[in-house]
C-alpha cells in the first residue's frame, strides 16, 4: 500500500537568495532561439536573457503607468521623432546636437502649452502639519516642478555611483522585511536610470545639469 504524502511534504521549490546564482530549466527550443538572438546581437546568452527580462519588466511598468502619463510620453516621443525626422541618419545622436535638442525642447513646450488647462492654479495638496515643513516644496507650481526635476536629475546623475548601494539595499529589504517585491522595484528603478544614462550618452564626469 502506497504511503500518503504528509501535508507540506515532498520536494520543496528551490529559490535563490539575493546575489546567489539562479539555475532554471529551459526547453531546448527556447534556448536555441535565445542563442540565435544573442549571436545576432553579439551578446552572451546570459546577457540576452537579462535584457529580455528587463524589457518585460519595463513593459509591465508601462502598462501599469497612469494613462495620462502614458499619453503625454507618447506625445513627447512623437515630437522627438518629428524633430529628428524619423530615422534620418543626419539626426543620429540628436540628443547631443544643440540645434536639434533645442528644437525638441521648444516643440515639447509648445505641446504642453496647448494642453495647459484653463483656470487658477490652486494647490491640491493639504498644507504641511509640521512647522518644520513650512518651506513646503509643493507651495507653487514652480517650486513643485523644480523639486520634481531635481529628484529625477539627482537619480540620473548618481545612477552609476549608487548602483551597488541600491543592489545591497534591495537585498537587505528582501532579507529583513521579507519584501521581495519592494526590493525588486528598487533594483528595477536603478536599472532604468542606468539605461537612461547610457542611452543619453551621459559621461560619468559630465552628468546632467542641475
The residue-averaged pLDDT of 166-192 equals: 53
pLDDT score for 99: 96
Task: With cut-offs at 50, 70 and 90, classify the pLDDT of residue 100.
Answer: very high
Helix axes 67-83, 98-115, angle to 10 degrees: 140
pLDDT at 46: 85
172 and 148 part of one domain: yes
Distance CA(79)–CA(105), nearest Å, equals 9
| pTM, two decimal places | 0.58
Pairwise pLDDT comparison (20 vs 103), residue with the higher score = 103
* Interval 113-139: pLDDT, tens: 999 999 999 888 877 665 555 556 777
53 plus 73 within the same structural domain:
no
Which stretch of 49-58, 117-126, 200-209 has the lowest confidence by average pLDDT? Answer: 200-209
User: How far is residue 206's CA from residue 44's CA, in Å, rounded to a whole number?
Assistant: 30
106 lies in the same domain as 71: yes
What confidence score (pLDDT) does residue 74 get? 92
**CA 26, CA 169: separation in Å to the nearest integer?**
30
Q: Is residue 147 part of a domain?
A: yes
Please tell me whether residues 174 and 199 are part of one structural domain: yes
Asked if residue 174 and residue 196 are part of one domain, the reply reads yes
pLDDT in tens, 74-84: 999 999 999 99
Is residue 134 included in any domain, yes or no? Answer: no
Q: Which of 1-10, 88-97, 157-166, 186-195 has the lowest mean pLDDT?
A: 1-10
Could you tell me if residue 32 is inside a domain?
yes
What residue numbers bound the domain in which 174 lies?
143-210
Q: For residue 172, what pLDDT is reported?
A: 57
Same domain, 82 and 108: yes
Confidence of residue 178 (pLDDT cuts 50, 70, 90): very low
Based on the domain organization, do 90 and 35 belong to the same domain? no
- What's the number of domains the chain is made of? 3
Q: Note whether residue 94 is domain-resident.
A: yes
pLDDT surpassing 70 at residue 23: yes
Q: Reply yes or no on whether the pLDDT at 183 is more than 50.
A: no
User: Do 148 and 206 belong together in one domain?
Assistant: yes
5 part of a folded domain: no
Verify that 172 and 205 share a domain, yes or no. Answer: yes
* 169 and 198 housed in the same domain: yes
Residues 30 and 83 in one domain: no
Residues 6+ apart with CB under 8 A from 100: 83, 84, 91, 94
Do 153 and 199 lie in a common domain? Answer: yes
- Structural domain includes residue 135: no
Amino acid at each position: 500500500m502506497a504511503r500518503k504524502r504528509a501535508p507540506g511534504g515532498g520536494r520543496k521549490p528551490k529559490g535563490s537568495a539575493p546575489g546567489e546564482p539562479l539555475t532554471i530549466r529551459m526547453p531546448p527550443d527556447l534556448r536555441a532561439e535565445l542563442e540565435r538572438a544573442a549571436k545576432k546581437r553579439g551578446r552572451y546568452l546570459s546577457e540576452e536573457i537579462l535584457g529580455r527580462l528587463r524589457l518585460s519588466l519595463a513593459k509591465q511598468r508601462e502598462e501599469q503607468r497612469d494613462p495620462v502619463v502614458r499619453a503625454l510620453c507618447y506625445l513627447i516621443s512623437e515630437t522627438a521623432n518629428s524633430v529628428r525626422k524619423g530615422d534620418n541618419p543626419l539626426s543620429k545622436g540628436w540628443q547631443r546636437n544643440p540645434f536639434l535638442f533645442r528644437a525638441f525642447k521648444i516643440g515639447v513646450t509648445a505641446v504642453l502649452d496647448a494642453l495647459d488647462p484653463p483656470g487658477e492654479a490652486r494647490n491640491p495638496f493639504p498644507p504641511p502639519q509640521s512647522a518644520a515643513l513650512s518651506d513646503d516644496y509643493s507651495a507653487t507650481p514652480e517650486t513643485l516642478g523644480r523639486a520634481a526635476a531635481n529628484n529625477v536629475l539627482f537619480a540620473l546623475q548618481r545612477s552609476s555611483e549608487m548602483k551597488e548601494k541600491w543592489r545591497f539595499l534591495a537585498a537587505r529589504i528582501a532579507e529583513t522585511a521579507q519584501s521581495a517585491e519592494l526590493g525588486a522595484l528598487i533594483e528595477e528603478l536603478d536599472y532604468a536610470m542606468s539605461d537612461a544614462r547610457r542611452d543619453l550618452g551621459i559621461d560619468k564626469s559630465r552628468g546632467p545639469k542641475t
